[in-house]
Amino acid sequence: MMQESSSRAMRLRDWLILQIESGQYPGLTWHDAEKTLFRIPWKHAAKQDYRQREDAALFKAWAVYKGKYHEGKDRADPSVWKTRLRCALNKSSDFQEVPERNQLDISEPYKVYRIQSHGGKEGHGRPETFSAGQLDTPPGQSSKLHVQFGAKVDANGGWKERADSGGLYEHPYSTDIQTPPQGTLADKDFRLQVCLFYQGQLVQDFTTSTSGGCWIRQCPALGEDEHLYGPSAIEQVFFPPVEAFHMPASVCAAMARLLAHLQRGVVVWVAPDGLFIKRFCQGRVYWNGPLAQHRDRPNKLEREKTSKLLDVSIFFQELKQFLQGGPRPNFEINLCFGEEFPEPDQSKDKKLITAQIKPLFIKNLLRTIQRCPEEMKAQLQDPRQGQRQPPVSPWADSAMILETHSLAPS
């Protein structure tokens, strides 16, 4: 390992090439014969087979070289070492990440970077193609959405999803959905506002009108049945054609390639206890929101798995704290398609394709609170405090508040 006393005149480019050529770090290798692309090991510290000595060696070496870590003196922190090198790579004009060549879901994951020729532009590279490395299933694999749901057809021709794990709300996908389950909110209160963005530019603003949730996906190909992959009761939100917006040709091409892998998309819905999502597309999807595990590193949605993105009970706890002077509750969900998100050194507006999802009920409730906070604070006090009866759904309490204030849809 290169020590701190080494010459500090060496740039990251020269230092990293030296490490690649040394063969000292397993997995740090050239990716092509021309030596313009290289692989850098990228194993997550949370993996069971993570070995700090081997898997963090390169990141530690850079920290030592820069004088940010002194063996035996400073506390070892592999995540900080990794973040430091990643930020250095992203800020340098000598390197450009090649996301479509990354392999992050294998036993020995790695990222691929291109060494730029002198004069290369600084900043994050945009995907050139989206290959199997960006997908979680082999390209070309086809299975219909209702099969992926593990759904069954009832006697009336309706669809019903089986929850992936115990305790999850069984969301009905029926061709004749009219009202939510008994004891929950009125149908209008299950609406969602869905905004789609291309590199930070708003390209679609859609509000659902039923309790069936929505299906965010790529528009079907010409002549293809738009209901081929599942039930028609779910409102569909299509990504608009990239050609309709003024963007560089290279960015449009990259988006078009990404959209090709988003045909099966994601399904989002509101249930009495929160907001849920299920991913079906081959292209990876990342997110952040109130229940996200990480705030400064990527959160990936697993394919064909129901994930809870917002918990109503937690929201109301935070809402009461907000009325007592605490921070405003976070209820917005952000999705990022095909690119890791969130990242501390790159804003959401730099990502190719993103979506923002808001439960309309919560949005309206917070707006009402801003208009008359004292009255809302009184109504949010639990009138059953001290009684032993089980509380009703928080959504039911909220429905009463909404009716009291006669909120109009935004």
Condensed to tens digits (0 to 9), the pLDDT of residues 375-408 reads 666 665 544 343 333 333 334 344 333 333 333 3
Please tell me the predicted confidence (pLDDT) of residue 269.
92
The answer to whether 130 touches 139, Cβ cutoff 8 Å, is no
Residue 149's nearest CA partner among 11, 357, 303 is 303
Say how many C-beta atoms besides its own lie within 10 A of residue 205's C-beta. 11
Please tell me the predicted confidence (pLDDT) of residue 197.
96
Tell whether the model's pLDDT for residue 183 goes beyond 50: no
* Order of strands, sheet of 172-173, starting from the edge strand that comes earlier in the sequence: 152-153, 159-160, 172-173
Please tell me the predicted confidence (pLDDT) of residue 53.
85
Residue 57's nearest CA partner among 97, 28, 30 is 28
Name the residue type at position 349.
D
Handedness of CA 306, 206, 270, 364 (dihedral sign): positive
Cis-peptide, bond into residue 359, ω within 30° of zero? no
Cα 11–Cα 340–Cα 62 angle in degrees, nearest 5: 25
pLDDT digits (tens, 9 = 90+) for 34-65: 899 999 999 888 777 888 888 999 999 999 98
Read off the pLDDT of each residue in 242-271 and give the average, rounded to a whole number: 90
371: phi then psi, degrees, rounded to nearest 5: -80, -40
* 371 — pLDDT class (breaks 50, 70, 90): confident
Please tell me the predicted confidence (pLDDT) of residue 378.
62
pLDDT digits (tens, 9 = 90+) for 284-330: 999 999 999 999 899 999 998 999 999 999 999 999 899 888 999 99
pLDDT digits (tens, 9 = 90+) for 102-133: 888 888 899 999 998 754 433 333 333 344 34
Distance between CA 215 and CA 153 in Å, rounded? 19
Quote the longest CA-to-CA distance of the chain. 76
The answer to whether 337 touches 198, Cβ cutoff 8 Å, is no
Please tell me the predicted confidence (pLDDT) of residue 44.
83
pLDDT digits (tens, 9 = 90+) for 1-31: 444 444 445 789 999 999 999 889 999 999 9
Residue 369's nearest CA partner among 328, 314, 333 is 328
* 349 — pLDDT class (breaks 50, 70, 90): very high
pTM (whole model) above 0.95: no
330: phi then psi, degrees, rounded to nearest 5: -95, 125
Handedness of CA 76, 78, 83, 86 (dihedral sign): positive
Say how many C-beta atoms besides its own lie within 10 A of residue 377's C-beta. 15
Tell whether the model's pLDDT for residue 172 goes beyond 50: no
Domains in the chain and their CATH numbers?
12-125 (1.10.10.10), 145-368 (2.60.200.10)
Distance between CA 316 and CA 125 in Å, rounded? 41
